[in-house]
Amino acid sequence: MTSPLVHAQHRAELSLVAAGLASSYSTEILDPGDALPLTTLMVDLGPDGDGRQRSMSINVMPLGDDFDAATFLQFYVPMPFEVPDALVVNVGYAAAKVNAAMALGHFAVSDSGEVYFRYMQAFSSSTAADPAASAQIVMMLDFHQETFGDVVQGVAEGEIDVAVVDQVIAAVTAG
């Protein structure tokens, strides 16, 4: 568990990020608890193209004293679909191909079959999070996971064969 001072510092950083998002997204800061071990900024991304609600969690990653010169913000979006065991390898391949086409962030598949989108932002610990920069990062990540998530989901649902993933990505990026 983090100390009250560290919790207050993380809450202050996340409050700055929330302020930068206020004009575009609904946000809420959640204190650490059983479900969330870290102070977390929840960002409502709105529904995806299939009408499923999407959210992003942002938190300050506690990486210990060895990394005291940098502060790391983690941006995390669980994708609203699961991967059948038989397709985990194919989805991992598709995620790697999609990741190579994106400017920020990456898709990954956990051992349990959860697909998520993640990005880590680093900045000097001697400065505070830049609300405008964080807002632009959230907008880019929102776009990337919404746009490219369909490719990963298509493979997970058996609608896109891995043999044509490169062509599907080329079509997505072309237009």
Task: Go through the domains of the chain in sequence order and give each one's CATH number.
Answer: 4-174 (3.30.1460.70)
User: What is the C-alpha separation between 109 and 79, in angstroms, rounded?
Assistant: 10
φ/ψ of residue 85, rounded to 5: -50, -40
Element (H, E) at 160: none
Exposure string for 103-118, b = 16+ CB within 10 A, e = fewer = eebbbbbeeeeebebb
Q: What is the DSSP letter of 37?
A: S
Token pair of 110, please?
Answer: 């956990």
Buried b (16+ CB within 10 A) or exposed e, 14-24: bbebbebbeee
The pTM for the full model equals 0.89
Whole-angstrom distance, CA of residue 101 vs CA of residue 7: 36
Phi first, then psi: give them for residue 129, nearest 5 degrees: -60, 140
- Do 41 and 131 form a contact (C-beta atoms < 8 A)? no
* Tens of each residue's pLDDT in the chain, 175 residues: 567 888 888 899 899 999 999 999 999 999 888 788 889 999 999 998 888 899 999 999 877 667 778 888 999 999 988 899 999 999 999 999 999 988 888 999 988 888 999 999 988 888 888 888 888 999 988 888 888 999 999 999 999 999 999 999 999 888 6
Question: Please, are residues 162 and 93 in contact by the beta-carbon 8 Å criterion?
Answer: yes
